[in-house]
Chains A and B, each alone.
Chain A
Amino acid sequence: MSTQDTGTRTPSGAAARPGTPRFIDSVSLIAGREVSMRLRSKAFLISTGILMLAVLASVVLGSLFGGQSEAAKVAVVGGAASVVDGNDALEAVPVDDQAAGEQLLRDGEVDAIIVPAASDPLGVVVVGLDETPSNVMQALAVYPTVELLEPAAVDPGLAYLVAFGFGIVFFMSAITFGSTISQSVVEEKQTRVVEILLSTVSARALLTGKVVGNSVLAFGQILAIAVLALLGLMLTGQRVLLGGVGPSVIWFVVFFAVGFVMLAALFAASSALVSRAEDVGSVTTPVTMLVMIPYILIIFFNDNPTVLAIMSYVPFSSPVGMPMRVFLGTAEWWEPILSLLILVATTAAAVLVGERMYRNSLLKTGPRVKLGDALRG
């Protein structure tokens, strides 16, 4: 035997051998690595930056185009002032005669001139520059009083907006972080580091760490977007309709947290079936479908109570469906709780099956692992 002494075998003051790490310690180390590596990835930072800019831009543009319109300035001649009095949408600029008003109109100081006219049934004539001043016309328009027999509790436009909001946030986060988990699983398989990891920690700790790490990232990103959007709304002076949306947002967050774990486990399990990053798409398509369907349904059927009722109980769509019904006020108090229990049970089952598939497939490199083999082991 050739024993060569290379000197320092044990550094002075080496710590005593540590005990077996606890599950929670392993999970937090693994989750921490997921987060720090993701935050170091340029692709992730750039795409998050673009997403943030898009949110900010939509808020700012929204205030520019949709914001509260200022009162239109009109020049009023003589007795026409009585027509404008008490109309919040119009600001009267009294002028001596029509000629003075025309001067203001040509200078762009006012949008129209209102002139008294005895011959007109309304007693006034509106003078515009080169086109009908529709903002002034709208302000002057008179509508009969409308009574609705069954008034909708919620403005349909707002309902659509909320549905779209829940749908897009769920869809984007699930797809973004689902594919992040997929990449991370396949990277470990492709680079074979997984064999070292499995000789150190259990497959369960590895999977849990990945799901936790990516969930933290997903929630962090959503939080950042929400804060940015609210800040944008406040800074641009738009009123936030939080009052009516509040409870449904809280339910959304709760459902999302559970549903995301379920999807993350499914993404991880299906990605473990393949050994190369190029093949991830083919195995995760079914999971991607499960994420897309609720998104499409909520956009098209947010006004259909039957579809919403079904959606609010099916585990894959309940994170979007149930908060929507809470917002619309069509859900009894116990319904979100029942739906959440169903979701939790499904998530537990998905995690168990996912962990099994994950563990059984991790060391099988080469061709795609058959689903049956992954489940049987």
Chain B
Amino acid sequence: MLELSDVTKRYGERLALDHVSFTVGDGRLTGFVGGNGAGKTTTMRIVLGVLSSDGGTVAIDGAPLTSVDRRRFGYMPEERGLYPKMKVLEQTVYLARLHGWSAEAARRNALDLLERLGLGERLDDTIESLSLGNQQRAQIAAALVHRPELLVLDEPFSGLDPMAVETVQAVLADAAASGTPVLFSSHQLDIVERLCDDLVIIAGGRIVASGTRDSLRAQHATDRWELLANGDAGWLRQQPGIRVVEFDGGWAVFEAESDAAREAVLAEAVARGGLTSFARERTSLAQIFKEVVR
């Protein structure tokens, strides 16, 4: 488990990180969400040790991080980059060997991973000759080839086509399933929402919300209900104690004054027939994000 406690970073007068604390559990896919300049990249760089903090601690399994621990991390920086003139396989093997793998094992890891990422045909192409999407895949291979014990990925999905997004999602989910803590940032809230177990939301250098996705959803749940039926749901407006928020044909979102009023709606819908769905409205990550950042 990775644990940040009161991590602080200053750039001159500006406080970039203000007592940042959160955890990334073993086998948990943790989404790191925040606006531009909120402090995501700074936090990740501090975890990886490429930047030093001005205060606070970063610990792994209870012990403060050392450079030895960090060598076992996998990192995909926001600023993408590999050696443009090196070949895909050669470069991936090189990075694995820098992490201490033997030439033979590094090659095996690299071949296996590149194959899974769909770069099996491009092993001997130079990085600069790859399409942008394939360069991204190679970048992900660079972060994973040494079988890291913790993964930190800064915007791993930006610039990927839908196919590649699927592949990368699967690779990350695999890593988490094998017990690796995974921390990744993304602007694509829908992906984060679909993929993550846990969420950390940062704004202006402060953690404004963190926890499991489901607990955050529960915390920010509204008392709104969603109804979907065949045929027109216009009758809803006549129900006592109900305020219709949104309405479109057979679909409506409403607020109920009381449980009794809501149950009356359900009974009425069942009586009218054709009811296909009746549930509390799901709070989207986008809504939670807007709410906590405000």
Contacts and interface: CB of A to CB of B under 8 A. Distances in A.
Interface of A: 1-11, 14-15, 17-21, 25-26, 29-30, 33, 37, 40, 187-188, 191-202, 363, 365
Given A20-B71, A191-B83, A363-B50, A15 B173 contact: no
Contact of B71 (A4, A21, A40, A193): A21
Contact of B82 (A17, A20, A193, A200): A193
A20 to B, nearest CB: 5
Given A15-B101, A196-B75, 10 more contacts: A2-B195, A5-B174, A6-B170, A18-B105, A20-B100, A194-B81, A195-B81, A201-B98, A202-B67, A365-B79
Contact of A200 (B99, B170, B196): B99
Given A25-B100, A29-B97, A2 B81 contact: no
The 7 closest A-B pairs by CB, nearest first: A192-B81, A21-B100, A15-B105, A18-B100, A192-B79, A195-B77, A193-B81
Nearest to B116: A6
Nearest to B152: A199
B52 to A, nearest CB: 9
Nearest to B173: A3
B79 to A, nearest CB: 4
A155 B174 CA distance: 77
Contacts of A11: 108-109, 112
B263 to A, nearest CB: 32
Nearest to B112: A11
A8 B73 contact: no
Contacts of B116: 6-8
Contact of B95 (A2, A6, A188, A200): A200
B147 interface: yes
16 contacts: A1-B195, A2-B173, A5-B174, A10-B178, A15-B101, A15-B102, A20-B71, A21-B99, A191-B84, A193-B82, A193-B83, A194-B81, A195-B45, A195-B75, A199-B50, A363-B45
A37 B91 CA distance: 11
Contacts of A9: 174, 177-178
Interface in B8-65: 29, 45, 48-51
Contact of A191 (B48, B75, B82, B108): B82
B121 to A, nearest CB: 17
Interface string B241-258: 000000000000000000
A11 B79 CA distance: 31
Contact of B72 (A8, A14, A17, A202): A17
B194 A2 contact: yes
Given A1-B195, A196-B81, A196-B142, A18 B174 contact: no
B169 interface: yes
A26 to B, nearest CB: 6
B271 interface: no
A1 B81 contact: no
Contact of B86 (A25, A37, A196): A37
Given A1-B197, A37-B86, A363 B100 contact: no
B163 interface: no
Nearest to A192: B81
B70 A199 contact: yes
Interface string B168-208: 01110110011000000000000000111100000000000
Nearest to A20: B68
B237 interface: no
B85 interface: yes
Given A3-B177, A6-B170, A200-B95, A17 B147 contact: yes
B94 interface: yes
B50 A1 contact: no
B80 interface: yes
B285 to A, nearest CB: 14
B264 to A, nearest CB: 36
A88 B111 CA distance: 75
